[in-house]
Amino acid sequence: MVFEIWHLDFQNMVSFSSKKLAEKIGVAETLRNARVARQFTLEAAARTLGVAKKYLEAIEDGNYNLLPGELYTKNFIRNYADFVKLNAQEVVGAYLKERKNCETKNCQLPPQVCKLKTWDTPRYLQLGASIIVGAGLMYYLGTQVSGIFTAPPLVLENPVEGSVSVTSVLEVKGQTLPESRVEINGVEKMSNAEGYFSEMINLTSGINKIIITAVKKHGPATTILRNVVYEGLAE
């Protein structure tokens, strides 16, 4: 008697709106309740619909990820809704709304439904990916730290070691890293955005030692020594 009363109440609810019912309690439970209300077993439903019992069980449990594909899922739900005398279009619409809720991460349905968009990555793949990412991060940090504490490159275009100058003014030019500080004989000189520097220095008669140094903010310096002979008369 109790079952018959519940059965009539459910029938009235279904006739009112399959969509509202499905959205309220979920598509899976709506279909299960409709089948039970009509006193069909899963086996009987599977035989009538020509669908494997495991797929109907997956639908009633909300485990849509166990179904063979999205196209099959919608067709199974549509046919199942017709079988239990629900409005198939409204039930499918409610299912699509469940999907949308899951995709926007506002899922208010049983956890199984939100598995629809979940990729079950094997643990060994997750571990492998973590190791690769970790190794890459360590390598990146290592190169960054190494770069900080490594002496900067320094290329000197002029003067050449042992060269002889016939004028008392000599151009010293070269290139280093843009962030490095350049010193010529202990005096800081300016370099441009590409690290190029050029400076005119005065020579004295005889051998002139020219020391060019590139220094980063943190780390060792790179130094080049050039000996240039000026054969002019002493002033």
Do the Cβ atoms of 201 and 170 come closer than 8 Å? yes
Asked if residue 113 and residue 9 are part of one domain, the reply reads yes
Residue 140 or residue 233, greater confidence: 233
Tell the residue number behind the tokens 């979940």, with chain if given.
Answer: 118
In a domain, 125, yes or no: no
Asked if residue 160 and residue 111 are part of one domain, the reply reads no
% of the chain at pLDDT higher than 90: 35
Among residues 117, 144, 174, the one where a domain terminates is: 117
Could you tell me the pTM of the whole model?
Answer: 0.40
In a domain, 144, yes or no: no
Domain CATH for 200: 2.60.40.10
Ranking 57-61, 68-72, 84-88 by mean pLDDT, the lowest is 68-72
Among residues 99, 117, 135, the one where a domain terminates is: 117
In a domain, 163, yes or no: yes
| Average pLDDT along the chain | 77
Q: Is 98 left (phi over 0), alpha (psi -120 to 50) or beta?
A: alpha
Asked if residue 112 and residue 175 are part of one domain, the reply reads no
Give me the pLDDT at residue 226, please: 93
DSSP code of 217?
S
In a domain, 105, yes or no: yes
Check pLDDT > 50 for residue 44. Answer: yes
For residues 79 and 196, what is the distance between their CA atoms, to the nearest angstrom?
76
Residue 170 or residue 103, greater confidence: 170
Give me the pLDDT at residue 68, please: 84
For residue 59, the SS3 value is: helix
In a domain, 83, yes or no: yes
Number of domains in the chain: 2
Domain assignment of residue 190, given as a range = 154-230
Q: Is 187 left (phi over 0), alpha (psi -120 to 50) or beta?
A: beta
Amino acid at 14: V
Amino acid at 67: L
In a domain, 55, yes or no: yes
Residue 151 or residue 104, greater confidence: 151
Domain CATH for 42: 1.10.260.40
Ranking 10-14, 79-83, 153-157, 182-186 by mean pLDDT, the lowest is 10-14
Tell the residue number behind the tokens 């739900």, with chain if given.
Answer: 77
Ranking 72-81, 104-113, 169-178, 206-215 by mean pLDDT, the lowest is 104-113
Check pLDDT > 60 for residue 113. Answer: no
Asked if residue 181 and residue 105 are part of one domain, the reply reads no
Asked if residue 84 and residue 11 are part of one domain, the reply reads yes
Asked if residue 167 and residue 109 are part of one domain, the reply reads no
- Cis? peptide before 159, omega within 30° of 0: yes
pLDDT in tens, 163-215: 999 999 999 999 998 888 899 998 988 888 888 999 999 999 999 999 999 98
Bridge partners for 154 per DSSP? 176
How far is CA 143 from each of CA 27, 137, 221, rounded to the nearest angstrom? Answer: 55, 10, 18
Amino acid at 130: S
Asked if residue 187 and residue 92 are part of one domain, the reply reads no
